[in-house]
Structure 1
Amino acid sequence: MNTTQLQGLIGTLVVLGALALVALPALIGVLHDRRVDRQLREAAERQDAIDRPRPERRASGSASRRFARTV
């Protein structure tokens, strides 16, 4: 490997390192935002489940069948 190739390799590595330093914080921010969005969506779904009215459960059998009839 001659001097020109080595200088080219070093220059390429410097440019890639600078690109990583610039792009890495942005990538970390995007990942953080996605996590926060997921947490907010899950919290909203849990809140909707709490706020949603539950269907009323019917008692087993009607009132006339709960008590023995005497005729």
Structure 2
Amino acid sequence: MLVVLGMFVLLVLPSVIGIVHDRRIDRQIREAQEARKEAANSAAATTRSAQKSSSRSTVPSTATWYADGRRSKKLVNS
């Protein structure tokens, strides 16, 4: 019975070592991804706080609307 148990341990041991190794690698990858996300979030927050908002309207001027209309007419007439 001890021989059978010893053979069972010898057959199962490589699989158990592989599973433990894979879980350790998965944990390291997960930690690295979380660290990368935190770094990206802090960089984005820094960029957002450094940007200044404009008080000007983002609506195009009348000249821009006129020029766009003229361009489209040229394309249709050509």
Aligned residue number for residue 68 of structure 2: none
- The partner residue of 2:3 within 7, 10, 26 is 7
Which residue of structure 1 lines up, in the alignment, with residue 16 of structure 2?
20
CA distance in structure 1 between the partners assigned to 2:42 and 2:23 by the alignment: 29
In the TM superposition, residue 21 of structure 1 has moved relative to its aligned partner by 2.6
TM-score, structure 2 normalization = 0.54
Partner of 2:33: 37
Q: How many residue pairs align between the two structures?
A: 52
Q: Which structure is higher in helix share? A: 2
Please show how residues 57-68 of structure 1 align to structure 2 within 5 Å.
none
In 1: Cα distance, 2:14 partner to 2:49 partner: 56
Note the alpha carbon deviations across 1:28-62, whole angstroms, 9 max, x for none: 211110010010011111111101147x8xxxxxx
Question: Mind listing any 5+ residue stretches in structure 1 that lack a counterpart?
Answer: 57-71
Normalised by the size of structure 1, how large is the TM-score? 0.58
- Specify the code of the residue in structure 2 equivalent to 1:11: M
Structure 2 unpaired stretches of 5+:
53-78
Q: Could you tell me the percent identity over the aligned residues?
A: 16
